[in-house]
């Protein structure tokens, strides 16, 4: 079984003035910590809501410091069950993002064969079978 695991991370950022700046720095900082070992992890801004359900910005800035909510998506292959996939993702990501709180948001099973069929045409070999992409 193959699964996509969404993990929420709370990334601290220092010396920032705006939410946009905090988000940019948090994504960059997280990418640096994950690369090159986990360059296949997708990084995106997270979502936050107030207790009343109001949508909030992904970062909270106070005194030139921010806490940014990021969502990290990782694909885990050949697992026994969803709980196994979430443990693997937390361990792999957590080893590189030291002292950053993580929470598994979602584990979704997917069919690897169906995902390969959805590749764009530019990523498939030419009809002549030479393996070149787009005539290169």
Digit-coded pLDDT (tens) for 79-113: 999 999 999 999 999 999 999 999 999 999 987 76
Beta-carbon contacts of 16 under 8 Å, excluding residues fewer than 6 positions away, are 22, 25, 61, 64, 65, 66
Number of structural domains (the chain) is 1
Contact predicate 102/5, CB 8 Å: no
CA 64, distance to chain mean position in Å, is 26
> Tokens 């070149």 correspond to what residue?
132
Note whether residue 126 is domain-resident.
no
Q: What percent of the chain has pLDDT over 90?
A: 72
Full domain range(s) for residue 91: 2-121
- E strand segments, 15-101: 42-45, 48-49, 55-56, 59-62, 65-76
The reply to whether 133 falls in a domain is no
Q: Is residue 134 part of a domain?
A: no
pLDDT class of 15 with cuts at 50, 70, 90: very high
Average pLDDT, the chain: 86
Q: CA-CA distance, 136 to 126, in Å (whole number)?
A: 10
Structural domain contains residue 23: yes
Please say whether the beta carbons of 3 and 115 come within 8 A. Answer: no
Q: How far is CA 91 from CA 10, 48, 94, 96, in A?
A: 16, 24, 5, 9
Decide if pLDDT at 124 tops 50. no
Q: Does some domain include residue 131?
A: no
């Amino acid at each position: 079984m193959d699964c996509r695991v969404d993990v929420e991370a709370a990334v601290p950022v220092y010396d920032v003035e705006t939410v946009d700046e905090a988000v940019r720095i948090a994504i960059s900082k997280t990418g640096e910590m994950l690369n090159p070992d986990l360059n296949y992890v997708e990084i995106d801004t997270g979502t936050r809501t107030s207790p009343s359900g109001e949508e909030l910005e992904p970062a909270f800035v106070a005194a030139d410091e921010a806490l940014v909510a990021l969502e990290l998506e990782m694909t885990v292959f050949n697992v026994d069950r969803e709980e196994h996939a979430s443990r693997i993702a937390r361990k792999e990501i957590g080893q590189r993002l030291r002292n950053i709180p993580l929470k598994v948001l979602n584990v979704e099973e997917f069919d690897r064969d169906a995902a390969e069929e959805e590749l764009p045409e530019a990523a498939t070999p030419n009809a002549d079978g030479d393996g070149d992409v787009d005539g290169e």
